[in-house]
Amino acid sequence: MEKKYGAKNFIQYKVYGKYALFTNPITKIGGEKSSYHLPTYEALRGITEAVYWKPTFEWIIDKVRVMKPIQTETKSIKLRNYASRNSDLAMFTYLSDVEYRVFAHFEWDESRSDLEKDRDELKHFSLANRYLNKGGKRDVFLGARECVAYVEPCDFDEGEGFYDQVPEINFGAMFHSFTYPKTSQDEKLMSNLWTAVMRKGVVDFVRPEECPVKRTVRNYAFNKVEVSPEREKCEAEVLE
């Protein structure tokens, strides 16, 4: 599918931290966790939404650039066992000393016709970059709550990355993202899988709907949010 780039609907930034944990679901058995070697689409979407987000649009993650060498660190973690009131010891494998460059753009959520008046590309572009300069609107994490991260504006292609001269690395099958229902006719939460390939340090993501493997996670209740006349009046006054 063709990417819908506009004049002012994209964002590029770097995100970095001491640790990251992009959990591989297979390793969750027994309460232990091990990180993928790459950030998932879903994790990067969450980071981008922490920078700035409105229900008027959705973020599409186009690509990520790995700047530092991929290295892991295993830690012993005490997990509370509420059945016995004791603690269980688990081993978590984190990525350590990470930095990524992210390029993403936003597209209007066509299912939210009630928010058409808020579809102002320049306004959301300006707000996204304003919050990016301040380190994000909300706290930023690299996959897990304990992996605190920091974001800064940057040029996606600037600087020298560790894998810039490596032609290709195939990371095999990975979790990509979740697809949540948008209408009352969609009642399934879907999990999307794909094969991640890094070329010269850059991973180009496919869109969630383009993932070759999809799995139903569970039934998902859809609750339509009605917009009150008072809210419509308030938004109209703000946009005037």
Between CA 236 and CA 240 the distance in angstroms is: 6
Helix (H, G, I), strand (E, B) or coil at 28: helix
pLDDT tens, the chain, 240 aa long: 344 555 589 999 999 999 999 999 888 776 789 999 999 999 999 999 999 999 999 999 999 999 999 999 999 887 766 666 666 778 899 999 999 999 999 999 988 888 899 999 999 999 999 999 999 999 999 999 999 999 999 999 999 999 999 999 999 999 999 998 876 666 788 899 999 999 999 999 999 999 999 998 877 766 555 555 565 555 444 444
Top-tier CATH class for 10-239: alpha beta
Q: Residue 208, exposed/middle/buried by CB under 10 A (0-12, 13-18, 19+)?
A: buried
- 198, 67 Cβ separation under 8 angstroms: no
- Residue ranges covered by each domain of the chain: 10-239
Burial of 110 (C-beta count, 10 Å sphere; 0-12/13-18/19+): exposed
Distance CA(172)–CA(196), nearest Å, equals: 6
